[in-house]
């Protein structure tokens, strides 16, 4: 009897990422630059928040090796977004801020058009922000939520490091529930876990599951 042959994984068309609280700026601390009424920024210097999050650079390099086009999305003004994206080593394409804000799907569609992507099927959005995840859902994309490094936990790396394991687990748990409640198809801790998550989504696609 011939051994069963595993079906080949379906290739992904494109992967979109949030910028702050996803690829860079653990805990989405850039939001602290906003004035108390949330209408303007107190400072244009976001360089202190531009460090890549755990696994971000490795994830982008893997996707580039697989020739999967990628772009980042953010709502911050261009000057701040450019500062945040500086350490990403030209591994990913930027997307200009859309006129309509999240959860409108415009930002996702604009990013896919900038990548020259001709279909929604096989496109994934990764973010720790529920509003951006909802935009991805409205655009018809698979969505992956990030529990620890996004705005829901909202802690800087230093603040996160001093927490006990139990405190971290409670924060992760609350963030995970909220990300699933916003419609995320999968939730992981941070981008170091993205490869296995994409493999799981690929299996779901093989079973004809749709986002």
CB-CB contact of 46 with 33 (8 Å)? yes
14-206: CATH architecture:
3-Layer(aba) Sandwich (3.40)
At 98 the pLDDT is: 73
Phi, psi torsion values for 14, nearest 5 degrees: -165, 155
Nearest-angstrom CA–CA distance, 166 and 168 = 5
Question: What's the pLDDT tens digit per position in 130-152?
Answer: 999 999 999 999 999 999 999 99
34-60 pLDDT per residue, tens:
755 555 666 678 999 999 999 999 999
H helix or E strand, kind and range, residue 56: helix 56-65
pLDDT in tens, 67-108: 999 999 999 988 899 999 999 988 999 987 777 789 999 999
For the chain, which residues make up each domain, given as ranges?
Answer: 14-206
Q: In 10 A of CB 98, how many CB atoms? A: 18
Question: Kind and range of the H or E element at 186?
Answer: strand 186-188
The share of the chain scoring above pLDDT 90, in percent, equals 81
């Amino acid at each position: 009897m011939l051994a069963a042959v595993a079906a080949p994984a379906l290739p992904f068309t494109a992967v979109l990422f949030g910028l702050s609280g996803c690829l860079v700026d653990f805990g989405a601390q850039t939001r602290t630059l906003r004035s108390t009424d949330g209408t303007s920024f107190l400072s244009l210097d976001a360089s202190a928040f531009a460090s890549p999050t755990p696994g971000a650079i490795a994830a982008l390099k893997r996707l580039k090796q697989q020739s999967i086009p990628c772009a980042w999305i953010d709502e911050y003004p261009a000057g701040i977004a450019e500062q945040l994206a500086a350490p990403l080593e030209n591994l990913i394409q930027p997307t200009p801020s859309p006129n309509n804000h999240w959860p409108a799907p415009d930002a996702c569609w604009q990013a896919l058009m900038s990548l020259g992507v001709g279909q929604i099927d096989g496109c994934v959005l990764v973010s720790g922000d529920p509003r951006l995840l909802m935009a991805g859902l409205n655009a018809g994309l698979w969505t992956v939520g990030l529990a620890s490094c996004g705005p829901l936990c909202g802690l800087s790396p230093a603040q996160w490091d001093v927490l006990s394991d139990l405190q971290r687990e409670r924060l992760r748990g609350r963030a995970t529930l909220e990300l699933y409640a916003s419609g995320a198809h999968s939730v992981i801790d941070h981008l170091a876990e993205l490869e296995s998550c994409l493999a799981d989504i690929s299996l779901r696609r093989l079973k004809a599951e749709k986002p």
